[in-house]
Amino acid sequence: MNNLRMHILVCGGTGCVSSDSKAVHGRFVAELAKHKMDKEVQVVTTGCFGFCEQGPIVKIYPDNIFYTKVAPADVELIVKEHVVKGRVVEKLLYHDPEKGTSEAEHRHIPFYKSQMRIALRNCGIIDPEKIDDYISVDGYAALGKALESMTPDLVVEEIKRSGLRGRGGAGFPTGLKWDAAKKAAGAKKYVVCNADEGDPGAFMDRSVLEGDPHSVLEAMAICGYAIGADEGVIYIRAEYPLAVERLRIAIAQAEEYGLLGGNILGSDFSFHIRINLGAGAFVCGEETALLNSIQGSRGEPRTRPPFPAQKGLWLAPTNNNNVETYANICPIILKGADWYSSIGTEKSKGTKVFALAGKINNVGLVEVPMGTTIREIVYGIGGGIRGDKKFKALQTGGPSGGCISNENLDLPVEYESLASVGSMMGSGGMIILDEDDCMVNIAKFYLEFTVDESCGKCTPCRIGNRRMHEILERITQGNGTMADLDELKDLGEIIKDCSLCGLGQTAPNPVLSTLRYFYDEYEAHVKEKKCPAGACKNLLKYRVLPEKCIGCTLCARNCPVSCIEGERKKAHVIDSEKCIKCGVCYSKCPVKAIVRD
Amino acid sequence: MSKIKSLDELRKIKEAAKASTDLRTTGENPDRVVLMVGMATCGIAAGARAAMSALLDEISKRNLQNVSVVATGCVGLCYAEPLVEVRVPGRDPIRYGHVNDARAREIIDKHIVQGILLDNAIIGREVPKGE
Amino acid sequence: MHELKNADQKYAQLDEFIDALPEKDGALIMTLHKAQEIFGYLPAEVQNHVAHKLQIPASKVYGVVTFYSFFTTKPKGRFKINVCMGTACFVRDSQKVLDEITKELQIKVGENTPDGLFSLDALRCVGACGLAPVISVNGKVYGRVKPEDVRNIVEEHMSMGGNDDE
């Protein structure tokens, strides 16, 4: 019957698609047909493998060979050498920069070694557009188990005992949320999935939806069964077209099989899911703002209480979790709460997906057990800092989080420990910063974001953050005073205390945490009018060291505002009045005669 | 596609669908048994493709979960092609020569399932790796 | 998309969508998505039309249109250049790429070139952080962009000129 001897898996995540993985897939199909092997070798598009830095990724089974950075032009070689003759193409294997060796199997690559995949369990294994692929890896078995052998109470109890907490940021226990929605009175209830991943630099939810959409649908149905809801809504960003498309396909397939719709699996439980497109507003990640947006209104948050569990969508009891939270549900139902709670730490159970980005060697998506140290994530999995620069800080939680400095590198990753150092788990963005990043500038970047995204409903957030941003602007321009630093701190505390929703309550975190760990950088900007990292343009001065300058005229010829003068073979001079501090001369000088201070 | 009306029906679909993803889950298993088939030009000319098809057919018929067939390059023993090497974790690899359809099925039946070596077909054991 | 359709046909297409809605309550954002897909942008006339059809105040429509960054009240260029200013791209110098594009096209963020060929916007994270810094032109993503690549990307599209390749 099935004589397929080989599967070629091509990553179809956004990262790899952006680096042409669709063309790679097409070339495989064409090359295999050319060699008349299309009947024995199958080409599969999968979800994200996580190792985006090395994309496009191609994996070949059963040999279990992991190819990186595969260009369409490489496909012919892979087919000729590997598929036909069984010879591994060495030059496309992952090259370990530390050991100088090549690794053929992904589990030996340091990036994957300490990972543990629960939420991402099927990403990169199954074809997200084929429901049979999902069913073959125990898909919809958890829903079947719940319907056949568990009461709604038992389901809620199981989730409670597992210790699962919300993966969207705040870390509220999922079981308690379900319990509240279950107990709330109401004939009509809703299950909402928050797929409005707004934290810039975090893309784990997108990867789950692109790589394993059914796992979210199944979990929402289980939740519906548990709390007594018959309708689910997925609120997803319009910026994720691929994820929307895969969800649409998945819903249609599940309906065709009767795994969504009326009388699921012959029971009297019915559940429908529809997709609701967002329209680009960060505040809609806040659950009450999200509900308003689903109702077609401006995404402004509501005052709580009443909580969504009592009065949510269209004022009916509503349970709202984010994508990654739902992605953990089915394994818990299948393998049990005891199994799940054996992973992680005392208060933070299970695993967490992080999106590593910034100045790190291995940008990508990683899933690790709670309690893994930051050092392990940055240096073990992440492969350390790019270009051998010095680590300066790790930013977690995006615009709501804070920076973690060198001294806390051995901190285990869990909700409480991150909060104790002034940051937060957040949705899982981890941005690594090096010596060239100015912490004042980074704080300003995040605040600019919140000022832009504040919905304007409450004053502390609308005006307070703007004032803080102005102060930071002053400081990076070289006009700050020491009183400004105190003002930042006071304002920040007030905004945290007085804002209506999570956006405002966390907006000052990037500033407060950098003030706490990098006060000396703020001081340098204010007192010495200097930016130690050399990032704040207005505080920079470029000058030529006359004793080093060889008069090659390269700098003068490249200066966009012609502010460098000097004769051939003689020392040049920069007119600092006219200089726009673009840094072109600095990078062009062949003898490093231009300095920045 | 028709509707699935019970958990049993879901299980049936799962069993049917498993065949299509087994290759991937088996490939991930470090303890799997690997059958290496010499698929260089000479191997293919000598009939390696028929041997491979027979192996795959036998594995799927018997529903062997932990065995995968991998194409490999020329090992230099051209006189004995087609070649199939059996690699069981923790044991010395065994190499069989002149593997045609019948012998391929015999390898699965005797060696893999019953654990009996096909003495008459072995063509020189590999030197055991230093322990 | 074909520009052959006249305004009446566009309105008819929008009406068809609205009339087919199972529920008009809460359908405003969905309708605006559709309207922007049809018209390319949401001028006052279109907003009024939507308000009328959904029987809600025009002020509510305007409030929603201006709240969400995805909606635009001005037409965009034929080639929409988006520069990712998410954190991952920001720390890998996307600002320099953005500066280069403003210089090359002589327009600021949110503006169109006078010939209507290009429009420039900054957006937050397309999720291709492994390729940072990233820009996209009509949805096609360019990764690891250096300021010196900008001219090529712009010229590549200029040469397509008025020809629709999609």
The residues, ordered by sequence, that sit 6+ positions from A89 with a Cβ below 8 Å of its Cβ are: A67, A74, A77, A78, A81, A82
Question: Taking CB atoms and an 8 Å limit, are A3 and B53 in contact across chains?
Answer: yes
Question: Taking CB atoms and an 8 Å limit, are A136 and B20 in contact across chains?
Answer: yes
Find out whether the peptide bond into A62 is cis, omega within 30 degrees of 0.
yes
pLDDT digits (tens, 9 = 90+) for A28-58: 999 999 988 888 898 999 888 888 888 899 9
Quote the pLDDT of residue C86.
Answer: 87
Contact A47, A13 (CB under 8 A): yes
Q: Which of A119-123, A538-542, C158-162 has the lowest mean pLDDT?
A: C158-162
Give the up-direction half-sphere exposure of residue A364: CA atoms within 13 A in the CB hemisphere: 28
Q: Flag whether B113 is in a domain.
A: yes
pLDDT digits (tens, 9 = 90+) for C110-152: 999 999 999 999 987 777 787 889 999 988 888 889 999 999 9
Do A42 and A187 lie in a common domain?
A: no
Number of domains in chain A: 5
pLDDT tier at A203, thresholds 50, 70, 90:
confident
pLDDT tier at A3, thresholds 50, 70, 90:
low
Structure tokens at B121: 């077909």
pLDDT of C7 > 90? The answer is: no
pLDDT of B79 > 90? The answer is: no
CA distance C24 to chain A (A): 10
Structure tokens at A394: 């790790």
Q: Flag whether B59 is in a domain.
A: yes
Q: Flag whether B42 is in a domain.
A: yes
β-pair type (A429-434, A542-544)? unpaired
Quick one: average pLDDT of A117-128? Answer: 90
Quote the pLDDT of residue A315.
Answer: 95
CA distance A364 to chain C (A): 6
pLDDT digits (tens, 9 = 90+) for A499-553: 999 999 999 999 999 999 999 999 999 999 999 998 888 888 888 999 999 999 9
Which domain, by its residues, includes A495? 439-528
Question: What are the residue boundaries of the structural domains of chain C, listed by start?
Answer: 7-67, 79-159
CA pair distance A278, C96, nearest whole angstrom:
30
Q: Scanning every residue of chain A, which has its alpha carbon at the shortest distance from the alpha carbon of B36?
A: A86
CATH at residue A452: 1.20.1440.230
Q: Flag whether A327 is in a domain.
A: yes
CATH at residue A37: 3.40.30.10
pLDDT tier at C166, thresholds 50, 70, 90:
very low
DSSP 8-state code for residue C81: E
CATH at residue B37: 3.40.30.10
CA pair distance A412, A326, nearest whole angstrom:
24
pLDDT tier at B127, thresholds 50, 70, 90:
very low
B/e letters for A109-131, b = 16+ CB within 10 Å, e = fewer, are bbbbeebbbbbbbbbbbbbbbbb
Quote the pLDDT of residue A561.
Answer: 87
Share of chain A above pLDDT 70, in %: 99
Q: Flag whether A125 is in a domain.
A: no
pLDDT tier at A2, thresholds 50, 70, 90:
low
pLDDT of C165 > 80? The answer is: no
Evaluate whether ipTM surpasses 0.85.
Answer: yes
Whether the full predicted model's pTM is greater than 0.90, yes or no, is no
Q: Which chain A residues have a beta carbon less than 8 Å from that of B10?
A: 135, 140-141, 144, 259, 265
pLDDT digits (tens, 9 = 90+) for A274-293: 999 999 889 999 999 999 99
pLDDT tier at B131, thresholds 50, 70, 90:
very low
* Residue A373: Cβ within 10 Å count: 17
The closest alpha carbon to A18, from C37, C133, C147, belongs to C133
pLDDT of C95 > 70? The answer is: yes
Mutate to test the interface with A, among C70, C95, C124, C141 (most CBs of A within 10 A): C124
Q: Flag whether A116 is in a domain.
A: no
DSSP 8-state code for residue A266: G
Q: Scanning every residue of chain A, which has its alpha carbon at the shortest distance from the alpha carbon of B70?
A: A63
A285 vs C: CB within 8 A: no
CATH at residue A427: 3.10.20.600
The residues, ordered by sequence, that sit 6+ positions from A46 with a Cβ below 8 Å of its Cβ are: A9, A10, A11, A12, A123, A124, A125, A126, A127, A128, A211
Q: Flag whether A123 is in a domain.
A: no
Question: Taking CB atoms and an 8 Å limit, are B38 and A83 in contact across chains?
Answer: no
CA distance B46 to chain A (A): 14
Among residues 507-546 of chain A, which lie with CB inside 8 Å of chain C?
Answer: none
Q: Flag whether A430 is in a domain.
A: yes
Share of chain B above pLDDT 90, in %: 14
Quote the pLDDT of residue A149.
Answer: 95
Find out whether the peptide bond into C133 is cis, omega within 30 degrees of 0.
yes
Q: Which chain C residues have a beta carbon less than 8 Å from that of A280?
A: 68-70
Question: Taking CB atoms and an 8 Å limit, are B36 and A86 in contact across chains?
Answer: yes
pLDDT of C160 > 90? The answer is: no
Q: What angle do CA B74, A94, A200 make, to 5 degrees?
A: 150
Quick one: average pLDDT of A341-361? Answer: 94
Quote the pLDDT of residue A297.
Answer: 94
Do A557 and A523 lie in a common domain?
A: no
Number of domains in chain B: 1
CA pair distance A259, A144, nearest whole angstrom:
9
CA pair distance A355, A204, nearest whole angstrom:
6
Do A512 and A575 lie in a common domain?
A: no
Mutate to test the interface with B, among A3, A46, A267 (most CBs of B within 10 A): A3
The closest alpha carbon to C70, from C112, C117, C23, C121, belongs to C121
Which domain, by its residues, includes B52? 30-121
Contact B46, B81 (CB under 8 A): yes
pLDDT digits (tens, 9 = 90+) for C73-90: 999 999 999 999 988 888
Residues in chain C: 166
CA distance A235 to chain B (A): 27
CA pair distance A400, A218, nearest whole angstrom:
30
Quote the pLDDT of residue A103.
Answer: 83
Quote the pLDDT of residue A26.
Answer: 93
Question: Taking CB atoms and an 8 Å limit, are A198 and C63 in contact across chains?
Answer: no
The domain made up of C79-159 has a fold known as: Glutaredoxin (3.40.30)
Contact A216, A208 (CB under 8 A): yes
CATH at residue A298: 3.40.50.11540
pLDDT of A111 > 80? The answer is: yes
pLDDT tier at A1, thresholds 50, 70, 90:
very low
Contact A427, A169 (CB under 8 A): yes
pLDDT of C2 > 70? The answer is: no
* DSSP code per residue over A172-184: -BHHHHHHHHHHS
Do A168 and A299 lie in a common domain?
A: yes
pLDDT tier at B1, thresholds 50, 70, 90:
low
Do A318 and A179 lie in a common domain?
A: yes
Q: Scanning every residue of chain C, which has its alpha carbon at the shortest distance from the alpha carbon of A583?
A: C96
Residue A63 dihedral angles phi and psi, to the nearest 5°: -60, -25
Quote the pLDDT of residue B124.
Answer: 65
Quick one: average pLDDT of A142-149? Answer: 96
Do A253 and A162 lie in a common domain?
A: yes
Quote the pLDDT of residue B43.
Answer: 78
| 3-state percent helix, strand, coil for chain B, nearest multiple of 5 | 45, 15, 35
pLDDT digits (tens, 9 = 90+) for A558-585: 888 889 988 888 899 999 888 888 888 8
Q: Scanning every residue of chain A, which has its alpha carbon at the shortest distance from the alpha carbon of C91?
A: A358
β-pair type (C118-123, C79-84)? parallel
Do A48 and A158 lie in a common domain?
A: no
CA pair distance A160, A225, nearest whole angstrom:
15
Which other chains touch chain A, taking contact as 3+ CB pairs less than 8 Å apart?
A: B, C
Domain boundary among A308, A340, A372: A340
Give me the residue from B3, B23, B36 closest to A4, CB to CB: B23
pLDDT tier at A459, thresholds 50, 70, 90:
very high
3-state secondary structure of C35: helix
pLDDT of B130 > 60? The answer is: no
